[in-house]
Amino acid sequence: MTEAYGLSIPDQLSEVCTPERCAVLIYDMQNGIVPQISAGPEMVRSCATLLEAAREGGYRVFFTRHFFLPNNVAGVGQLRRAMVWQRKKRPEETKPFFVQGSPPWEIDPQLAPREGEIAIDKITMSAFEGTFLNLAMRDARLDSFIIAGIALEVGIGPTVRHALDLNLCPVVLSDACGSRTEELRKQTLTSLQETGEVFIATTAEVVSVMSRHRHSS
Nearer to its own copies, 35 or 80 (CB): 80
Q: Which of 14, 31, 36, 131 touches its own copies (CB under 8 A)?
A: 131
Q: Does 5 bind its own copies (CB under 8 A)?
A: yes
Q: Per-residue string for binding with its own copies, 38-57, x by CB under 8 A?
A: --------------------
C-alpha distances (whole Å) from 195 to each of 37, 88, 93, 157, 192 are: 27, 36, 39, 12, 6
Q: Does 6 bind its own copies (CB under 8 A)?
A: yes
Q: Does 77 bind its own copies (CB under 8 A)?
A: yes
User: Applying CB under 8 A, which part among 37-45, 49-57, 162-170, 175-183 lies near its own copies?
Assistant: 162-170
| Cβ burial, residue 55 (10 Å; 0-12/13-18/19+) | middle
Classify each residue of 81-112 as buried b or exposed e, where b means 16 or more C-beta atoms within 10 Å of its C-beta: ebeeeeeeeeeeebebbbbeeeeebebbeebe
Q: Which of 45, 104, 106, 136 touches its own copies (CB under 8 A)?
A: 136
We find the least distance from the C-beta atom of residue 142 to its own copies, in angstroms, to be 8
Q: Does 85 bind its own copies (CB under 8 A)?
A: yes
The alpha carbon torsion through 46, 47, 49, 53 (nearest 10 deg) reads 140
| Segment 94 to 123, residues that bind its own copies, using CB under 8 A | 99-101, 115-123
Q: Which of 12, 38, 110, 167 touches its own copies (CB under 8 A)?
A: 167
Q: Does 75 bind its own copies (CB under 8 A)?
A: yes
Nearer to its own copies, 18 or 49 (CB): 18
Q: Does 164 bind its own copies (CB under 8 A)?
A: yes
We find the least distance from the C-beta atom of residue 8 to its own copies, in angstroms, to be 7
User: Applying CB under 8 A, which part among 38-46, 47-55, 69-77, 172-180 lies near its own copies?
Assistant: 69-77
